[in-house]
Amino acid sequence: MEQYMIYKNLGISREVYEAGERLEQELMPRFLEFDKNAEFNQLKVLHAMQKNRVSDGCFQYATGYGYNDTGRDTLEQVYADTFHTESALVRPQITCGTHALSLALSANLRPGDELLSPAGKPYDTLEEVIGIRSSKGSLAEYGVTYRQVDLKEDGYFDYPAIERSLNEKTKLVTIQRSKGYQVRPSYSVEKIGELIAFVKRIKPDIICMVDNCYGEFVETIEPSDVGADMVVGSLIKNPGGGLAPIGGYVAGREDLIENCGYRLTSPGLGREVGASLGVMQSFYQGFFLAPVVVSSALKGAVFASNIYERLGYGVVPNGSESRHDIIQAVELKTAEGVIAFCKGVQAAAPVDSFVTPEPWAMPGYDSDVIMAAGAFVQGSSIELSADGPIKPPYAVYFQGGLTWPSAKLGILKSLQYLSDAGLVSKEQIQKI
Ligand SMILES: *Cc1c(COP(=O)(O)O)cnc(C)c1O
């Protein structure tokens, strides 16, 4: 059967299909780079698994207190060896990325300490963790103060201002690798390393924490390879490989991770308790798959960027830039564009493809938001997903894709929906 027929069955027109084929051919050298990166990271993970003698026994079920949960303890060593850190805490009891970040901060800050963000505003949900927006249980309530150095015009670090902000109270510095929903570049691990080195030259004992969400396995090195004392992330993003149904991690210096253990469970108990409840196989297998899953997501991001750039939309990053996370922003100029894009992504999903997403008011947002997610794990954003606030510049944030062919279909579907809505012409598509 001609390949187009299978696309036709999925509602893709001939011109959209052909544009996709042409572009895919053109992007092959880029894709090969992602494959080589995945190869390196795959071997890194595999080596860590072999070194720690991962066995069938590691997938056994522990319940109750979870003492001697060897599957859990071994997995933590696998993470530590992959990230080249002394220790790691990888638990289903860490409910999400925000929780992992909150844990790492609250475990290692004490009343009177100051937290510094030298790279501008942190991720939205951290505003309440820190107390930038007043909130119950925030660090501010516990007497931890906060200081922030805004980014320069070009989106990079204002070193003289950072130097002025470091003082005798500054205990911990937080750096976010991915841009999240901001208009600034995502940072390369190298750039993060320069910032850490600068801060440590001025104050050697400062703790440097990196919010690693969406960044894991995008490069061959991680922030922990360039001086970060803690790296933190979510298992329903990159390192869970799409299989972990819940969880978060903190990897880093032994004393800091020990503190995280005492904060997560209880002083005196620490990492000794916390049963893994049967999720261990998905954690191991997801981590094993993660490097290749991340490369699929990167291919999807670059494919989308090139399509929409050629159609005249603003894209961040652009079609040829190097990648430092898996997020792709596309400015669709109109509400109709955002809605069509998200409906297309939803229609390409393996789960809930028959559901039509609609914009709605969400807590914490000042405009309606539309979200497309047809995921095996609810809210998982390593799976193909897109969301966009219905307000200028009508940007959609698109990420994930467990396999490249499914990511490709999602993007082609988004284009098909824009075309069907009359927002993009056949002639434009033929010029991609
Ligand atoms: C997703 C994300 C978080 C928060 O993670 P949740 O799992 O949504 O709580 C924090 N920082 C960045 C950069 C993220 O992308």
User: pLDDT tens for residues 328-370?
Assistant: 999 999 999 999 999 999 999 999 999 999 999 877 677 899 9
The pTM of this model reads 0.97
pLDDT number for residue 364: 64
Handedness of CA 94, 97, 102, 104 (dihedral sign): positive
Which protein residue has the closest C-alpha to ligand 1 atom 3?
97
**Tens digits of residue pLDDT in 233-257:** 999 999 999 999 999 999 999 999 9
Closest atom, ligand 1, to C-alpha of 96? 7
Strand order in the sheet with 395-399: 314-316, 328-331, 395-399, 385-389, 368-373, 360-361
- Mean pLDDT value across residues 100-111: 98
Q: Using most ligand atoms within 8 A of CB, pick from 98, 176, 181, 235 the residue to mutate for ligand 1.
A: 98
- Which atom of ligand 1 is closest in space to residue 101's alpha carbon? 10
Statement: residue 1 has pLDDT above 80: no
CA nearest neighbour of 157 among 132, 182, 178, 184? 184
What's the pLDDT tens digit per position in 20-69?
A: 999 999 999 999 999 999 999 999 999 999 999 999 999 998 899 999 99
**pLDDT of res. 64:** 95
Alpha-carbon distance of 285 to 288, in angstroms, equals 5
- Say which range, 86-100, 365-379, 392-406, has the weakest mean pLDDT: 365-379
Mean pLDDT of 100-124: 97
C-alpha 97 – ligand 1 centre gap (Å): 5
Q: Determine the pLDDT at residue 362.
A: 79
Give the chain's mean pLDDT: 96
pLDDT at 182: 82
Tokens of 202: 């001025």
Mutate to test the pocket of ligand 1, among 99, 123, 230 (most ligand atoms within 8 A of CB): 123
C-alpha of residue 48 to centroid of ligand 1, in Å: 26
Residue the block writes with tokens 């930038």: 132
Alpha carbon of 216 to ligand 1 centroid (Å): 13
Reported as a single tens digit per residue, the pLDDT across 169-215 is 999 999 999 998 787 899 999 999 999 999 999 999 999 999 999 99
What residue ranges line ligand 1, CB within 6 angstroms? 96-98, 123, 125, 176, 178, 180, 211, 213-214, 234
In this structure, the residue with its CA closest to atom 5 of ligand 1 is 97
Report how far residue 79's alpha carbon sits from residue 94's, in angstroms, rounded to the nearest whole number: 15
- Per-residue confidence band for 5, with pLDDT thresholds at 50, 70 and 90: very high
Q: Report the residue among 94, 95, 175, 211 best suited for mutation to probe ligand 1: largest number of ligand atoms under 8 A from its CB.
A: 211
How far is the centre of ligand 1, averaged over its atoms, from the C-alpha of 209 (Å)?
A: 14
Tokens of 68: 């001697």
Other C-beta atoms within 10 Å of 224: how many?
24
Residue 397 pLDDT exceeds 80: yes
